[in-house]
């Protein structure tokens, strides 16, 4: 790569369309696109590229996506190592990057990189808060548990379906469901039907057992992080609210990188997507269902915890019943989940401690 200087002592905007095998960049200097090129995704390529802007203030803009924060980490490592060059990284939520109506039918990587620069100049988005590597690891641990619990539930439903489809007799009701004696009796009952069916039941029960063992291991690790991890203070404050246990608190504490990034509790509730949508014009006011914007895991965990909250807290239960009489249980529990999100925000921000 040539290291010919493109700009010096200027403010430079670099839009990047990130792919697995290429980074398509567009460079804007002095109000004009000065360069378009494709880089191989590597630290060395980016170092050579940034050396073309000595003494400049370089703003790199790209969309969040499946490649995570790798590019952000590379650029932050280089920041301060390049002579006189200051690098700032801005990660845009894809939903907040506008597309001009007349250009929807033509989409290329080069156009996308320029579009990111335009969105940054217009202030169309707020930067994604980048968690540190430790928080990312904890977040992945918590998300893995959620995925495993989902697989466990799906597999149990498949086993139930297999039993009903082949007319296999269920084990004795005196046995605790899914216990080891319950599983052995299920296999014994399947032998009456067919040998191949028995093999299917055994294999599915074996896979289920392995998933459950993995869940036990990962839950012990999460419990340890709840007590002594880097997010333990925030998680314990959140977990102190009725209806939110260890795992619910850890989901919230790891999914929200910085509670201080939200102006107030309304902004946080909006981020969870639990606020009602609205389409109003003039004297016509239309309010619909919740927006479902933002983090879907947060939205799910707040609804789940809200059910536990109204079950174990008398005041919350009375409020839920009043709302359900007017709106129905589904809308009422969403309203309680939104209220819970507001309460969690204030707990997390208490004592002037931000996540």
* Lowest mean pLDDT segment, chosen from 74-83, 124-133, 286-295: 286-295
Q: What's residue 168's pLDDT?
A: 93
Model confidence at 354: pLDDT above 70: no
Q: What's residue 273's pLDDT?
A: 93
Model confidence at 355: pLDDT above 50: no
Q: What's residue 281's pLDDT?
A: 73
Q: What's residue 1's pLDDT?
A: 44
Report pLDDT digits (tens) over 190-228: 998 888 899 999 999 999 999 999 999 999 999 999 999
pLDDT band at 352 (very low <50, low <70, confident <90, very high): very low
Model confidence at 2: pLDDT above 70: no
What secondary structure, in 3-state letters, does the chain show? CCCCCCCCCCEEEEEEEECCCCEEEEEEECCEEEEEEEECCCHHHHHHHHCCCCCCEEEEEEECCCCCCHHHHHHHHHCCCCCCCEEEEEEECHHHCCCCHHHCCCCCHHHHHHHHHHHHHHCCCCCCCCCCHHHHHHHHHHHHHHHHHHHHHHHHHHHHHHHHHCCCCCCCCCCCCCCHHHHHHHHHHHCCCCHHHHHHHHHHHHHHHHHHHHHHHHHHHHHHHHHHCCCHHHHHHHHCCCCCCHHHHHHHHHHCCCHHHCCCHHHHHHHHCCCEEECCECCECCEEEECCCCCHHHHHHHHHHHHHHHHHCHHHHHHHHHHHHHHCHHHHHHHHHHHHHHHHHHHHHHHHCCC
Question: Which has the higher per-residue pLDDT, 225 or 287?
Answer: 225
Q: What's residue 353's pLDDT?
A: 41
Section 71-98 average pLDDT: 91
Report pLDDT digits (tens) over 13-31: 999 999 999 999 999 999 9
Burial 284-308 (b: 16+ CB within 10 A, else e): eeeeeebeebbbebbbebbbbbbeb
Question: Which has the higher per-residue pLDDT, 7 or 75?
Answer: 75
Model confidence at 230: pLDDT above 80: yes
Q: What is the mean pLDDT of the chain?
A: 92
Model confidence at 289: pLDDT above 50: yes
Q: What's residue 297's pLDDT?
A: 95
Model confidence at 348: pLDDT above 50: yes
Q: What's residue 351's pLDDT?
A: 60
Model confidence at 229: pLDDT above 50: yes
- How much of the chain exceeds pLDDT 70, in percent? 97
Q: What's residue 102's pLDDT?
A: 67
Length of the chain: 355
Model confidence at 96: pLDDT above 90: no
Model confidence at 145: pLDDT above 90: yes
């Amino acid at each position: 790569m040539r290291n010919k200087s493109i700009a010096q002592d200027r403010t430079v905007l670099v839009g990047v369309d990130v792919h697995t095998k290429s980074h398509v960049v567009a460079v804007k200097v002095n109000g004009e696109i000065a360069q378009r090129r494709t880089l191989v995704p590597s630290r060395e390529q980016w170092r050579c590229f940034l050396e073309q802007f000595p003494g400049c203030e370089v703003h790199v803009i790209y969309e969040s996506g499946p490649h995570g924060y790798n590019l952000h980490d590379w650029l932050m490592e280089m920041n301060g190592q390049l002579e006189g060059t200051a690098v700032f990284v801005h990660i845009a939520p894809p939903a907040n990057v506008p597309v001009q109506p007349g250009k929807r039918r033509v989409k290329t990587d080069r156009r996308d990189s320029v579009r990111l620069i335009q969105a940054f100049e217009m202030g169309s988005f707020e930067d994604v808060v980048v968690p540190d590597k430790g928080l990312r690891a904890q977040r992945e641990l918590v998300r893995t548990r959620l995925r495993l619990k989902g697989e466990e539930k799906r597999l149990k439903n498949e086993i139930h379906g297999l039993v009903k489809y082949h007319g296999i007799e269920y084990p004795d009701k005196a046995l605790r469901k899914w216990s080891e004696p319950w599983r052995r009796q299920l296999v014994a009952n399947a032998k009456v039907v067919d040998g191949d069916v028995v093999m299917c039941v055994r294999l599915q029960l074996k896979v289920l057992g392995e998933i459950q063992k993995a869940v036990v291991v990962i839950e012990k690790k999460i419990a340890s992080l709840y007590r002594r991890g880097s997010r333990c203070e925030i998680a314990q404050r959140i977990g102190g609210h009725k209806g939110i246990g260890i795992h619910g608190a850890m989901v919230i504490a790891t999914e929200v990188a910085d509670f201080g990034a939200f102006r107030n509790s309304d902004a946080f509730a909006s981020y969870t997507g639990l606020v009602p949508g609205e389409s109003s014009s003039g004297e016509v006011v239309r309010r619909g269902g919740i927006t479902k914007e933002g983090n879907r895991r947060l939205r799910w965990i707040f609804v789940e915890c809200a059910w536990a909250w109204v079950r174990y807290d008398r005041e919350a239960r009375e409020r839920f019943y009043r709302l359900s009489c007017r709106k129905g249980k589904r809308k009422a529990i969403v309203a309680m989940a939104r209220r819970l999100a507001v309460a969690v925000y204030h707990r997390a921000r208490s004592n002037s401690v931000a996540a």
